[in-house]
């Protein structure tokens, strides 16, 4: 009898390479064929520099996936030449190698990908952690470091460990003014930011029927904050409606889990019991219900980001503002998700509600979500419909950022404080037109690329060479770090630093610059040749963004090993890809015994790696500390080669 498969297994089995199509065991290493890739500008420059390096700049090397899209949405301010140069590089490199280019102003990559390229049953990897947004239509979309995208473009399959598939069964219906964002915030409260590592949440149950693709995308998008590999919904009537609206029925198919299939874990959620939620500073899982903090005054409200910028969210916001003004004490800003969303708002006559109400209507970009403008006032309170509220990410160090649904944010924009959105009156009818004729500006690559010259401005520096690690090392403890260090802590974003994403020597000077500014000074006081460090970290090291820059700058600054209680998935992978060894304590109490500036000795690293256990000698106490590192043979070879680029170049440069 044919096995009954859940949806995740179906997609994995139709893309898995070389295991006779058996359902893999949880955490078993697997390789998948990748159908689509996406990049955004802030990770894209490096991803394409790496692609060029993998294929040794052979000009005829067109990418080897069915669809590759390069979006510009993060660093769009162009305050000086660096940023504009990066965009020009991205546009020309796309034309050269056969990649679709989406220029700045088209919209936010995840919103655009969902609207224009998502496809039930396909696989997508993207160099942005919120790539799983597109899994809202029953595809398997995963966020990765840019080097993984570069390898997929060259034709490499994507390696990962088979995630545990958790069935999230939704029952009943949401109450009025409670929305998809509250579902995901509720789940964050239950599972925390590290609860989803190496898991996929697969949503089923009667409760999903009334959730539109826009609602589902809010949930799959923010599944990233749970640390999930991805989140997935079936492709059903709602999905059909979505594809019809976007004039893309040719890409549509129904796709469900088999009846009676099994899951690794199950969790049932009664939607009727959820109330409006808010994540408090400084973590997306610091969630309380609105009732618990009602009355908290806000200085700023931002609506948008890849989590909540869909046409549905925008229609709600604009309808609620009809005939009203925003609270004069609050600065209210909106970023629609795409130009198409703006166009529809205009067609429906809804933009004028925003203008009349006094809302600042911005270009459809990431904007304030990535610290590109709209920093809150000093010690200000900002309520945002975004997905992350890590300390300092907004651009104001002492600001307090809260995360909520568009419903709660709209009420705060009008009342000046956090209140239950039922104060807004009747819930408006959200009538999304059946069809709309609007074609975004995608720039398709020419068939004949011989005339295309790749533009490289002075900000685009060659990739640094990463030498393999020595077999025997004495490493200084550079810093002992707490739990949940995010990649925003390791390497912040913001206008100034984002401009240096294609310049590793320059960006490396900003490592930990907001949280621990003394670290770089400490490094600079040590002669370059003697820079051999280890970082000690708590749980969930490297949560958040997929930016591989956060891993490269560690290696560039001499960090050879990170010993943590646990790691976030993408960052662990990025560390391996750039030749940094991510070790986990066997016994977490060893963490307490190590101090800043202690020395750690590692002997025979290469042979120790083969046994998945590495013994460290703590020089001050002479104690042996046991650590683990479960790697596939390929990952071991990657570390020994000094990173994945060195490893794959061998294969493709011939």
Which residues would be at the binding site for ligand MIC (CB under 6 A)? 42-43, 74, 128-130, 370, 388, 493, 544-547
Least Cβ distance, residue 312 to ligand SF4 (angstroms): 17
Residue (16 or 140) nearer to ligand MIC, CB: 140
Q: How far apart are CA 643 and CA 574, in angstroms?
A: 9
Q: How far apart are CA 550 and CA 489, in angstroms?
A: 9
43 near ligand SF4 (CB under 6 A)? no
546 near ligand SF4 (CB under 6 A)? no
Task: Give the Cα-Cα-Cα angle 213, 219, 224 (nearest 5 degrees).
Answer: 130
Least Cβ distance, residue 367 to ligand MIC (angstroms): 11
Do 384 and 305 meet the contact criterion of CB atoms below 8 Å apart? yes
Do 575 and 469 meet the contact criterion of CB atoms below 8 Å apart? no
3-state secondary structure 123-186: EEEECCCCHHHHHHHCCEEEECCHHHHHHHHHCCCEEEECCEEEEEEEECCCCCCCCHHHHHHH
- Strands 158-161, 140-143: pairing is unpaired
Determine the interface stretch with ligand SF4 among 47-55, 205-213, 228-236, 362-370 (rule: CB under 6 A). 362-370
305 near ligand SF4 (CB under 6 A)? yes
- Strands 381-384, 300-303: pairing is parallel
Residue (113 or 479) nearer to ligand SF4, CB: 113
- Strands 287-289, 277-279: pairing is antiparallel
Q: How far apart are CA 208 and CA 261, in angstroms?
A: 18
CA distances from 133 to 387, 399, 574 (A): 12, 28, 21
Q: Look at residue 546 and give the partner it binds from ligand SF4, ligand MIC, none, a contact being a CB closer than 5 to 8 Å depending on partner kind.
A: ligand MIC
Least Cβ distance, residue 37 to ligand MIC (angstroms): 14
Least Cβ distance, residue 506 to ligand MIC (angstroms): 16
- SS3 of residue 253 by DSSP: coil
Q: Look at residue 305 and give the partner it binds from ligand MIC, ligand SF4, none, a contact being a CB closer than 5 to 8 Å depending on partner kind.
A: ligand SF4
Per-residue string for binding with ligand SF4, 96-135, x by CB under 6 A? ------------x-------------------x-x-----
Residue (369 or 466) nearer to ligand SF4, CB: 369
Q: Tell me which residue of 102, 179, 105 sits closest to 343, measured CA to CA.
A: 105
Least Cβ distance, residue 166 to ligand MIC (angstroms): 22
CA distances from 480 to 452, 533, 556, 563 (A): 49, 12, 19, 10
Among 122, 192, 387, 608, binds ligand SF4 (CB under 6 A): 387
Q: How far apart are CA 75 and CA 104, in angstroms?
A: 9
In the sheet that holds 100-102, the strands lie side by side as 100-102, 67-71, 36-40, 123-126, 140-143
Least Cβ distance, residue 75 to ligand SF4 (angstroms): 10
Residue (123 or 305) nearer to ligand SF4, CB: 305
Residue (417 or 489) nearer to ligand SF4, CB: 489
Determine the interface stretch with ligand SF4 among 138-146, 204-212, 366-374, 438-446 (rule: CB under 6 A). 366-374
Torsions phi, psi for 303 (to 5 deg): -115, 130
306 near ligand SF4 (CB under 6 A)? yes
Q: Look at residue 108 and give the partner it binds from ligand SF4, ligand MIC, none, a contact being a CB closer than 5 to 8 Å depending on partner kind.
A: ligand SF4
Helix (H) or strand (E) holding 474: strand 473-480
Count of residues that bind ligand SF4 according to CB under 6 A: 11
Q: Look at residue 43 and give the partner it binds from ligand SF4, ligand MIC, none, a contact being a CB closer than 5 to 8 Å depending on partner kind.
A: ligand MIC
303 near ligand SF4 (CB under 6 A)? no
369 near ligand SF4 (CB under 6 A)? yes
Structure tokens at 142: 């995963």
Residue (385 or 546) nearer to ligand MIC, CB: 546
Give me the residues paired with residue 160 across strands: 30
Q: Look at residue 404 and give the partner it binds from ligand MIC, ligand SF4, none, a contact being a CB closer than 5 to 8 Å depending on partner kind.
A: none
Q: Look at residue 180 and give the partner it binds from ligand MIC, ligand SF4, none, a contact being a CB closer than 5 to 8 Å depending on partner kind.
A: none
Q: Helix axis angle, 311-321 relative to 339-347, nearest 10°?
A: 40
Least Cβ distance, residue 499 to ligand SF4 (angstroms): 15
Residue (5 or 491) nearer to ligand SF4, CB: 491
- SS3 of residue 242 by DSSP: helix
Residue (49 or 641) nearer to ligand MIC, CB: 49
Rg (CA), the chain: 24
Least Cβ distance, residue 455 to ligand MIC (angstroms): 21
DSSP code, position 108: -
Q: Look at residue 49 and give the partner it binds from ligand MIC, ligand SF4, none, a contact being a CB closer than 5 to 8 Å depending on partner kind.
A: none
- SS3 of residue 427 by DSSP: coil
Q: Look at residue 42 and give the partner it binds from ligand SF4, ligand MIC, none, a contact being a CB closer than 5 to 8 Å depending on partner kind.
A: ligand MIC
Residue (386 or 541) nearer to ligand SF4, CB: 386
Least Cβ distance, residue 283 to ligand MIC (angstroms): 14
Least Cβ distance, residue 71 to ligand MIC (angstroms): 11
Least Cβ distance, residue 44 to ligand MIC (angstroms): 9
Residue (77 or 520) nearer to ligand SF4, CB: 77
182 near ligand SF4 (CB under 6 A)? no
Do 125 and 569 meet the contact criterion of CB atoms below 8 Å apart? no
CA distances from 58 to 44, 53, 71, 123, 249 (A): 19, 9, 23, 27, 37
Do 563 and 478 meet the contact criterion of CB atoms below 8 Å apart? no
Determine the interface stretch with ligand SF4 among 119-127, 364-372, 480-488, 495-503 (rule: CB under 6 A). 364-372
Residue (153 or 493) nearer to ligand MIC, CB: 493
Least Cβ distance, residue 154 to ligand SF4 (angstroms): 24
Least Cβ distance, residue 497 to ligand SF4 (angstroms): 13
Residue whose token pair is 């470091």: 145
Count of helix runs (H) and strand runs (E) in the chain: 23, 25
Point out which residues bind ligand SF4 (CB under 6 A). Answer: 74, 108, 128, 130, 305-306, 366, 369-370, 386-387
């Amino acid at each position: 009898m044919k096995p009954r498969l859940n949806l995740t297994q179906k997609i994995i089995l139709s893309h898995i390479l070389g295991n006779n199509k058996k359902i893999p065991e949880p955490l078993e290493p697997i390789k998948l064929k990748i159908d689509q890739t996406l990049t955004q500008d802030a990770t894209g420059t490096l991803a394409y520099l790496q692609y060029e390096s993998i294929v040794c700049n052979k000009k005829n090397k067109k990418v080897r996936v069915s669809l590759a899209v390069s979006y510009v949405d993060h660093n769009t301010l162009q305050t000086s030449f660096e940023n504009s140069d990066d965009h020009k590089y991205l546009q020309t490199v796309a034309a050269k190698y056969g990649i679709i280019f989406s220029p700045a102003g088209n919209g936010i990559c995840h919103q655009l990908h969902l609207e224009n390229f998502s496809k039930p049953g396909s696989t997508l990897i993207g160099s942005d952690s919120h790539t799983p947004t597109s899994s809202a239509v029953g595809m398997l979309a995963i966020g990765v470091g840019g080097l993984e995208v570069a390898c997929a473009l060259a034709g490499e399959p994507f390696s990962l460990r088979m995630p545990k598939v958790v069935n999230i069964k939704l029952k009943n219906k949401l109450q009025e003014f409670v929305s998809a964002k509250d579902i995901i915030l509720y789940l964050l409260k239950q599972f925390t930011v590290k609860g989803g590592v190496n898991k996929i949440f697969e949503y089923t149950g009667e409760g999903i029927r009334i959730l539109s693709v826009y609602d589902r995308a809010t949930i799959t998008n923010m599944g990233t904050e749970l640390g999930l590999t991805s989140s997935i919904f079936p492709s059903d009537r709602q999905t059909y409606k979505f594809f019809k609206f976007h004039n893309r029925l040719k890409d549509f198919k129904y796709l469900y889990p088999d009846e009676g299939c099994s899951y690794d874990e199950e969790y049932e959620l009664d939607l009727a019991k959820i109330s409006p939620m808010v994540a408090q500073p400084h973590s997306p899982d610091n969630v309380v219900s609105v009732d618990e903090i009602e009355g908290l005054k806000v200085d700023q409200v931002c609506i948008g980001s890849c989590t909540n910028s869909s046409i549905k969210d925008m229609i709600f916001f604009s309808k609620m503002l009809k005939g009203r003004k925003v609270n004069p004490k609050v600065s209210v800003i909106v970023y629609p998700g795409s130009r198409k969303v703006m166009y529809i708002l205009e067609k429906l006559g809804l933009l004028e509600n925003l203008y009349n109400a006094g809302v600042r209507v911005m270009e459809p970009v990431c904007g304030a979500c990535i610290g590109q403008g709209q920093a809150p006032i000093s010690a200000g309170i900002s309520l945002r419909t975004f997905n992350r509220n890590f300390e300092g990410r907004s651009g104001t160090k002492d600001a307090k950022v809260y995360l909520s649904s568009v419903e709660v944010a709209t009420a705060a924009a009008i009342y000046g404080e956090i209140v239950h959105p039922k104060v807004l009156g009747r819930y408006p009818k959200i009538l999304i037109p059946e069809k709309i004729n609007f074609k975004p500006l995608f720039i398709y690559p020419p068939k004949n690329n011989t005339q295309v010259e790749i533009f490289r401005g002075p900000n685009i520096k060659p990739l640094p060479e990463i030498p393999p690690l020595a077999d025997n090392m004495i490493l200084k403890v550079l810093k002992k770090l707490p739990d949940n260090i995010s990649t925003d802590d390791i390497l912040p974003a913001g206008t100034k630093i984002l401009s240096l994403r294609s310049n590793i020597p320059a960006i490396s000077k900003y490592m930990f610059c907001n949280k621990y500014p003394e670290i770089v000074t400490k490094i600079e006081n040590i002669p370059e040749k003697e820079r051999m460090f280890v970082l000690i970290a708590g749980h969930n090291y490297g949560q958040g963004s997929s930016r591989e820059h956060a891993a490269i700058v560690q290696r560039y600054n001499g960090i050879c090993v990170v010993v943590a209680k646990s790691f976030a998935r993408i960052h662990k992978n990025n560390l391996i890809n750039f030749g940094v060894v991510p070790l986990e304590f066997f016994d977490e109490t060893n963490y307490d015994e190590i101090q800043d500036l202690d020395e750690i000795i590692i002997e025979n690293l290469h042979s120790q790696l083969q046994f998945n256990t590495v013994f460290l000698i703590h020089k001050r106490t002479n104690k042996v500390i046991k650590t683990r590192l479960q790697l596939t043979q390929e990952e071991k070879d990657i570390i020994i080669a000094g990173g994945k680029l060195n490893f794959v170049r061998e294969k493709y440069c011939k």
